[in-house]
Amino acid sequence: MLLATVALPALLLSAACTPAPSPSSSAPAGSASSSASGRGTASSSASATAKPTPTKKPVPTKKVHVSLLENDGATYGVGMPIIAWFDRAPTNAKAFAAATTVTVNGSKISGGWYFESTAHSGSALEAHYRPVTYWPAHAKIEVNLPVKGLSAGPGLAYDNSLTLSISTGAANILTVDAHTLKMTVKTDNKLYGTYAVSLGANNTPTARGTKVIMEKGADISMRGPGYYDAHVQWTQRLTYGGEYLHSAPWNVANLGVRSTSNGCTNLLPAVAKKLFGFLEIGDVVNYPNANGPAMQLGQGYGDWNVPWTTWLTGGALKTS
């Protein structure tokens, strides 16, 4: 997977000094005193003109615009983080975090932002917000970000405020066992079904850990080591690098028997179609014992793999 490297914009300070006026060749009227002694010998003194203090030109404030991935009124799974994108990278996130209010069914919750690099086009940085554990099922979530005018760091200020109103659906939690090659689907803690799978082969392993469904595609093209398929059906993306739940009619003989995929979770066509219609973006898919490396935050919506104490540090930017 490719991670975009965020280059934080350098802040340029410019200063202009007001030149001091040159001393006058003669003192202005009333600025000298004289005294006579003897035959008119006089002495005079001119008060020195004060040099003005150099002044710095104010640093222009650059605008930071915030946008959100989620759509107002949409329904997501209980594992979906709130995702914010920044068109210019903030250098200080404390004001942004302090201004954030999130409620669930009208009650304020405890949660936090975690800042990370982004691959999103037109964005310089992104941040994810989540609570300590998954969102409650069948809940209304309200997000208020009154950040317009607040500091995003020296010389930076947010230029907009945002609100968001979304809902969660059922608590759909999937667990994929790499030893039995079975996938168990539970909805609101009730068994929905158990299905045979084939996971990544040893040379193309499946990442271990907690993933979240990121997007869905009824018919997409896939390319990998030594293959290209223009029509892979009933796909549900789990990582940026290309792990999906999907139909695999070419691999039916290996489902529940051995792992031979390129990292994806292969399913029977009928099962893949059924789950495509049933699951939501934001639903959770756990791989507790897959043969690959641990799932990382930037490889997808890997938020739930980050310990809460680490999450509270804010990631790339301190939030408190």
Of 213, 9, 4, whose CA–CA distance to 116 is shortest? Answer: 4
How many CA atoms does the CB half-sphere of 277 hold within 13 Å?
A: 5
Closest C-alpha among 274, 204, 212 to residue 238? 212
Quick one: residue 122, left, alpha or beta (phi over 0 = left, psi -120 to 50 = alpha)?
left
Each residue's pLDDT tens digit, 218-232: 999 998 878 899 999
Q: Is residue 300 over pLDDT 70?
A: yes
Backbone dihedral angles phi then psi of residue 102, each to the nearest 5 degrees: -130, 130
Contact 295, 305 (CB under 8 A): yes
What's the CA gap between 318 and 174, in Å, rounded? 33
For 16-50, the pLDDT digits (tens) are: 332 333 333 333 334 444 333 334 444 444 445 66
Residue 242, pLDDT > 80, answer yes
Question: What is the share, in percent, of the chain residues with pLDDT greater than 70?
Answer: 81
Measured in degrees and rounded to the nearest 5, phi and psi for residue 59 equal -75, 125
For 85-124, what is each residue's pLDDT tens digit?
999 999 999 999 999 999 999 999 999 999 999 999 999 9
Intra-chain end-to-end CA distance of the chain, in Å: 31
**Tens of pLDDT along 195-218?**
999 999 999 999 999 999 999 999
Residue 302 Ramachandran class (φ > 0 left, ψ -120 to 50 alpha, else beta): alpha
β-bridge mates for residue 236, sequence order: 216, 245
Q: Is 67 exposed, middle or buried (0-12, 13-18, 19+ CB in 10 A)?
A: middle
Q: Please give the mean pLDDT across all residues of the chain.
A: 87
Per the listing, tokens 């005193």 go with: 33
| pLDDT for the residue 222 | 94
Residues in Cβ contact with 302 at an 8 Å cutoff, skipping those fewer than 6 apart: 209, 210, 211, 212, 295, 296
**SS3 call for 254:** helix
Per DSSP bridges, beta strands 162-168 and 75-76 are: parallel
Ordered by where they begin, the domains of the chain are 62-169+307-311 (2.60.40.3710), 172-289 (2.40.440.10)
DSSP H helix total and E strand total for the chain = 3, 21
Query: Using an 8 Å Cβ cutoff, are 49 and 23 in contact?
Result: yes
What pLDDT, on a 0 to 100 scale, did the predictor assign at position 131? 98
